[in-house]
Amino acid sequence: MVEATIDLFSRGRMQLDPHFMKEGAVLASMENPNPTLERLDASIHNAIIEHPAGTFLWDTGSHPEAANGYWPAALYNLVEQDDAADHELDADLAALGYDVADIDFVIQSHLHHDHAGGLTYFEGTDTPIFVHERELKYAYYNGATGEDHNPYVIEDFHRDLNWRVIHRDRTMPFEGIEFVRCPGHTPGMMATIVHCDDPGTVIIAGDAAHLEFNYENEHPIGGALIDDKRAWFESVRELKELERTYDATHVICGHDMDQFQRLEGRIT
């Protein structure tokens, strides 16, 4: 355990088909052949981890010009974030009393468009950016070819950045901070576990489980958002085992609006 704090803060919200978050969320049936389909509000959030080694930023959110042509039109048509311009990273950090220059380390859970857009603020700096090797390789390949129809925007990460690449599936690069590769959503999806003196162990699962519903019920995400379903199940079950082993106080999911609204601010 280490003397550390975690603050969860909003970077906006997306609207998207619920099937992306819950496989088979809305199904036609004999009794209801034309069910109502409404888009789901999904939270985008980042976290500040204050640790004896420095200030960590977990994920960087969407690029502020996402709605103005920065995200490809086909992607934006499926996943809309109309408030991205209201959530520039420097402004959201300033609201918490931080400057971008105060960030000592960045942890990128993965490199999808709604998680890596703020890397532009670290271009040309010495700020270490932690990312898994499998994620960086896959993101570049997919961003360049689009073969797997995954939502990577190569301009997010094809920048002058100080990459600190994680090669192992599980590692503790700092006392009390653990990275665990959780493939399924993407090959290099990485959960962060913080072993705090208070409130205890917190698992930041990120998109290893988009919603508490996914995590608690082992119900997968759907569509192009799932890269490997078998791996997804294995990752969720590993996180549950770690939750039990560490007696974790929180498992923070990647896009659960209800959970975010309960936990926003200092994690206690």
Q: Which domains does the chain have, with CATH numbers?
A: 5-14+41-266 (3.60.15.10)
Parallel, antiparallel or unpaired: strands 265-266 and 5-16: antiparallel
Evaluate if residue 148 carries a pLDDT over 80.
Answer: no
DSSP code per residue over the chain: -B--EEEEEEEEEEEE-HHHHSTTSS---SS-SS----PEEEEEEEEEEEETTEEEEE--B--TTGGGTTS-HHHHHHEE-TTGGG--HHHHHHHTT--GGG--EEE-S---TTTBGGGGGGTTS--EEEEEHHHHHHHHHHHHH-TT-----HHHHSSS-EEEEE-SSEEEEETTEEEEE-TTSSTT-EEEEEEBSSS-EEEEEETTSSSHHHHHHT----GGG-S-HHHHHHHHHHHHHHHHHHT-SEEEESS-HHHHHHH-EE--
Write down the pLDDT at residue 52.
Answer: 98
Say if CB 163 and CB 197 are below 8 A apart: no
Percent of the chain with pLDDT over 90: 95
What does the pLDDT look like over 149-204, one tens digit per residue?
789 999 999 999 999 999 999 999 999 999 999 999 999 999 999 999 999 999 99
What does the pLDDT look like over 23-64, one tens digit per residue?
999 989 999 999 998 999 999 999 999 999 999 999 999 999
Write down the pLDDT at residue 37.
Answer: 87
| pLDDT band at residue 72 using 50, 70 and 90 as cut-offs | very high
What does the pLDDT look like over 104-133, one tens digit per residue?
999 999 999 999 999 999 999 999 999 999
Write down the pLDDT at residue 150.
Answer: 87
Write down the pLDDT at residue 63.
Answer: 99
Evaluate if residue 239 carries a pLDDT over 90.
Answer: yes
Average pLDDT, the chain: 97
Evaluate if residue 6 carries a pLDDT over 90.
Answer: yes
Write down the pLDDT at residue 147.
Answer: 81
